[in-house]
Structure 1
């Protein structure tokens, strides 16, 4: 039970975790490592970690399937934890050595130039213009928008356009890290700060980002207690690690993002109003994909080119009829869902290298099949119905589309432009 708990925690940490046995062989790797190395669950034992390499330029060498990787991190001795475990390797970053060397010379922080933000809609043009204007400011930015609208892309573009582009861009997902670990992730800790702490201490994300930009994704999920500390850090521009009295001065820009309604959270006392005004100096609201339909075609063509290059495929074309269906689909998962759909179709494309309607994802085809059940059809079939009956049919149609649970009803009410109480009363 203890091992399962430890592994569950390890899989939620934003760093890589590798556990070695007494013979220094790998017995466990968390999801971060498996994704970075493209390792299957049954291949973990084939990872080789060179423990001596830590002495050279602070990098840990890893080999898997004859490919060498560099990892930046630390090795923890843990003989006292369990006789099965000898060491834990913690990695803040890991990549193919060739890729690491390339990034060190070119794009170490994952730059996104303005011209790589795809879209010519008025909303996207305005956002690009705002990024250009505010890039060199040190004021905090709050990016809001539905899940999958590209909030991190915008944050990285601000960094790429700014005078901090050669300084760190450090991203952390506040929702992905367990609450007890989040403070140490953000601010680090001193040697012996708490039971189980690393003997050499830990550098937090704020210290790593000093001089550059820290991106706090899903800030709406940050615990209230930590919001207090974050507010103080933003006000005073300095902080102390856990277990230390020494203050570290900060020259940092904060970009936060959320898909939640922070103003509603303030009313519910789950988000601090003073922190909201501190991070919301420059607001950027991203539109949903359904509000920028003219951008769907260029996005699709961009994804096709990307996957053709990644998979070493010949040029793939797409029928206009497919584009039309993609344009008129609601895309509740936004750009992320669209990208997933394009990847699906690329995998199914035939020898003619043409994407046709017959390889559209099933859920998109189902959407169009259900459109024939549109409630206004009743006017033709039943001659005429009363406005009250039509209203009820339309509300039930929205509920069948978005779901009849609390979340679905809220979404349906929003789309219909009525209050939730009205929807309950009339459905």
Structure 2
């Protein structure tokens, strides 16, 4: 994450497009806002639009606006699109992989010509906008499957930034737990000091498929449920407790003697019963043939 932040700082004042990739919940919009706030455009608009949340029929008018009378129901006086609203600032195109092909073509033209044309309009309107796009999809695979325009991909992917999932950032989990605990203590008027040792261990080792967003939700839930000064197991979501219990059942501790006996038995079953076979088994186990015979006698291992 230090490398991600350093890269973001270095490109903040560039006019080049940035493509932020990462799983859902890793904080792609947060990083986009950080890039904007660190840039010389920080006092200008930051306009975010989720390409997956708006119907295809409305997305074009949301992005580029429309002139009065452009279609039935069009607002009197027309409407400014997100690109015009973001002029001299930054536009953040979230879930860019969900943008329909016909709009990808229009977006490519906007990026190339630095101008937009409203629906129903007949003139080009110049714009000065920094474009940051984000997706949780593999755009390269989508290009290969002809689901995303190759030329648009290369236009967006000038500065690629990948945010790693939380399961690969175990060191961040504890920091985030403490941060969100402070946030929800203040928001919910609680005074919880921290997490019990058991809860902390469980949460530090949890897989976090929903990444930071899931962690935030878990802490908010736990703070709501907890009545003592420490978050206890009873206050964390049932799903996490069940997964922890299942993992505990799968992991069974056995003695070193039992493990050693099992290893020897399995080796002899694999190689065979002859003297030559036993020599190969001993070699595979990293012990001498004499030690193998002694262990067989000690554990009363008999070959059928």
Give the TM-score, by structure 1 length.
0.59
Q: Which residue of 2 aligns with 1:249?
A: 126
Q: Which moved further from structure 2: 298-307 or 308-317? A: 308-317
Cα distance, 1:249 vs structure 2: 0.5
Q: Within 5 A, what are the aligned runs for 1:262-277?
A: 262-277=139-154
Aligned: 1:354 with 2:261: no
CA pair 372-318 structure 1, distance change in 2 beyond 3 A: closer
Please say which structure displays the higher CA radius of gyration. 2
CA pair 285-386 structure 1, distance change in 2 beyond 3 A: farther
Contact kept in structure 2, 1:189 and 1:244, CA below 8 Å = yes
Q: Within 5 A, what are the aligned runs for 1:158-173?
A: 158-173=35-50
Contact kept in structure 2, 1:175 and 1:222, CA below 8 Å = yes
Return the alpha-carbon distance in structure 2 between the equivalents of residues 375 and 268 of structure 1: 42
Aligned length: 262
Contact kept in structure 1, 2:192 and 2:230, CA below 8 Å = no
- Which residue, 233, 240, 250 being the options, matches 1:374? 250
Return the alpha-carbon distance in structure 1 between the equivalents of residues 251 and 199 of structure 2: 25
Q: Which residue of 1 aligns with 2:217?
A: 340
Higher strand share: 1
Cα distance, 1:312 vs structure 2: 2.5
Return the alpha-carbon distance in structure 2 between the equivalents of residues 371 and 386 of structure 1: 25
1:163 match: secondary structure: coil
Cα distance, 1:247 vs structure 2: 1.2
Q: Within 5 A, what are the aligned runs for 1:90-101?
A: none
Contact kept in structure 1, 2:192 and 2:231, CA below 8 Å = no
Cα distance, 1:321 vs structure 2: 2.7
Return the alpha-carbon distance in structure 2 between the equivalents of residues 353 and 377 of structure 1: 33
Higher helix share: 2
Cα distance, 1:377 vs structure 2: 8.3
Q: Which runs of 5+ in 2 are unaligned?
A: 268-304
Return the alpha-carbon distance in structure 2 between the equivalents of residues 194 and 360 of structure 1: 52
- Which residue, 287, 300, 305 being the options, matches 2:164? 287
1:245 match: secondary structure: coil
Q: Within 5 A, what are the aligned runs for 1:2-81?
A: none
Return the alpha-carbon distance in structure 1 between the equivalents of residues 148 and 174 of structure 2: 38
1:241 match: secondary structure: coil
Q: Which residue of 1 aligns with 2:282?
A: none
Q: Which residue of 1 aligns with 2:74?
A: 197
Return the alpha-carbon distance in structure 2 between the equivalents of residues 369 and 139 of structure 1: 49
1:216 match: secondary structure: strand
